[in-house]
Amino acid sequence: MKEFQLIDDVMPDVPPAGQAETAAVRARVLGAAAPRRRPPVRARASLAAAAVTGVLVAGFVVVPRLADGGTGTASPPATAAAVATASSLSDALKKAADRLAAQPAGTGRWWRREALHSQRARVKDNPSFYVENQAKEVLWIDRQGRQRIERGRVSSTLPTSLDRREWKRAGSPPLCGDDSDCQIGRVFMVPLPLKPVTDLPAEPGALKAELLRRLPQDGAYEHESWLWNVALWLLLDTEATPATRAAVYGMLADLPGTNIAERAFDGRTGITLMHGDATARQQVVIEPQSGELLAVQTVTTGRTDEEVLDTYRVRRLGWTDERPAKVKD
Q: Which amino acid appears at position 308 of this protein? A: V
**Nearest in space to 79 (alpha carbons), one of 328, 313, 290, 245:** 290
Q: How buried is residue 310: exposed, middle or buried, by Cβ count under 10 Å (0-12/13-18/19+)? A: buried
pLDDT, tens only, 242-260: 999 999 999 999 999 899 9
Can you give the pLDDT at residue 200? Answer: 94
| pLDDT value at residue 215 | 86
CB atoms within 10 A of CB 206: 13
pLDDT at position 178 is: 80
Structural contact between residues 311 and 284, judged by C-beta atoms closer than 8 angstroms? no
Q: Give the CA distances from residue 196 to residues 91, 188, 193, 284, 292, in Å, rounded to whole numbers and listed in that order.
A: 31, 19, 9, 23, 21
pLDDT at position 329, please?
A: 59
pLDDT, residue 67, reads 30
- The gap between the terminal CA atoms of the chain, to the nearest Å, is 18
Q: Torsion angle of alpha carbons 284, 43, 122, 127, nearest 10°?
A: -170
Cα–Cα dist 170/203, whole Å: 53
Q: What is the pLDDT of residue 120?
A: 87
Q: Which residues of the chain have pLDDT under 70?
A: 1-87, 180, 183, 185-191, 302-305, 328-329
C-alpha torsion 247→235→256→220, nearest 10:
120
Q: How far apart are CA 109 and CA 93, in angstroms?
A: 31
DSSP-H helix ranges across the chain = 19-30, 41-47, 80-84, 89-101, 161-169, 204-212, 223-237, 242-254
Conformation bin of residue 156: beta by default, left when phi > 0, alpha when psi is -120 to 50: beta
